């Protein structure tokens, strides 16, 4: 029988890493999950992020709603949204890490998966990963090279480096480099 896999995505971590590494966010989450799962059986994908406040950032809120509408159409994917709190003039994420950690541990307890894949490099998940491993489950980390906690990397049973090679073919739309675009009106022999 194939191992059951559950994927836990720290949405903010993924979003910012995609922005800094690729300057894009149009990830095909179905194909992303399929690549992480491989030949195993996907049980569920959990996506965690904050809900943008429409009164504070109406444009960002609308962009997020378009993005979430696409996610809601992704098979086996559940969305869990935290909030923000203003502390000393800064907007702080509230509830996202604890939701992911709680679901990671609870899902192991109810035997939802054999292998958890945590898409994050955040050290805040070390204790939850440790608890899940003590339950007899395996935990893999999908991470970006520049944003991985060494302790989380060491705690993982296996690792998936999220680099340019990994993401090849996983985007919703194709981008063309300016150098590869044909020049209109010019003969290529000129």
Tell me, what's the pLDDT at 86?
A: 72
CATH number belonging to domain 4-167:
3.40.50.1010
Contact 160, 141 (CB under 8 A): yes
Tell me, what's the pLDDT at 188?
A: 43
Residue 147 has pLDDT above 80, yes or no: yes
At 36-81, the pLDDT tens digits run: 999 999 999 999 998 877 777 778 778 778 788 878 889 999 999 9
C-alpha distances (whole Å) from 155 to each of 9, 73, 107, 123 are 17, 33, 19, 10
> How far is the C-alpha of 96 from the C-alpha of 52, rounded, in Å?
13
Tell me, what's the pLDDT at 166?
A: 96
List, in sequence order, every residue forming a beta bridge with 45; answer none if it has no partner: 7, 77
Task: Tell me the average pLDDT of the chain.
Answer: 87
Tell me, what's the pLDDT at 175?
A: 61
Mean pLDDT computed over 88-109? 87
Mean pLDDT computed over 146-166? 94
Extents of the domains making up the chain: 4-167
- Dump the DSSP string for 140-162: EEEE-GGG--HHHHHH-SEEEE-
Tell me, what's the pLDDT at 178?
A: 44
* Beta-carbon-side half-sphere exposure of residue 14 (alpha carbons within 13 Å): 22
Q: Of the candidates 103, 63, 62, which has an alpha carbon nearest to the alpha carbon of residue 82? A: 103
Q: If pLDDT is split at 50, 70 and 90, which confidence band does 187 have?
A: very low
C-alpha distances (whole Å) from 126 to each of 26, 97, 190 are 29, 11, 60
What is the reported pTM? 0.86
At 2-48, the pLDDT tens digits run: 999 999 999 988 988 988 899 888 889 999 999 999 999 999 999 99
Q: Any residues with CB less than 8 A from the CB of 20 and at least 6 apart, and which?
A: 146
């Amino acid at each position: 029988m194939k191992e059951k896999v559950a994927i836990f995505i720290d949405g903010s971590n993924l979003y910012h890493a995609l922005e800094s590494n690729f300057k894009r966010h149009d990830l095909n989450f179905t194909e992303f999950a399929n690549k992480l799962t491989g030949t195993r059986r996907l049980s569920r994908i959990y996506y965690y992020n904050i809900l943008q406040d429409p009164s504070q950032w109406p444009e960002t809120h609308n962009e997020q709603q378009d993005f979430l509408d696409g996610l809601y159409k992704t098979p086996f994917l559940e969305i869990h949204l935290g909030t923000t709190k203003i502390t000393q003039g800064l907007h702080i994420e509230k509830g996202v890490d604890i939701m992911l950690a709680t679901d990671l541990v609870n899902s192991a307890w109810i035997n939802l998966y054999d292998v958890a894949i945590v898409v994050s490099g955040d050290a805040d998940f070390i204790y939850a990963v440790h608890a899940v491993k003590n339950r007899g489950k395996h935990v893999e980390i999908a991470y970006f090279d520049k944003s991985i906690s060494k302790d989380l990397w060491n705690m993982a049973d296996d690792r998936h480096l999220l680099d340019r090679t990994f993401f090849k073919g996983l985007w919703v739309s194709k981008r063309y480099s300016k150098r590869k675009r044909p020049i209109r009106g010019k003969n290529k022999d000129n």
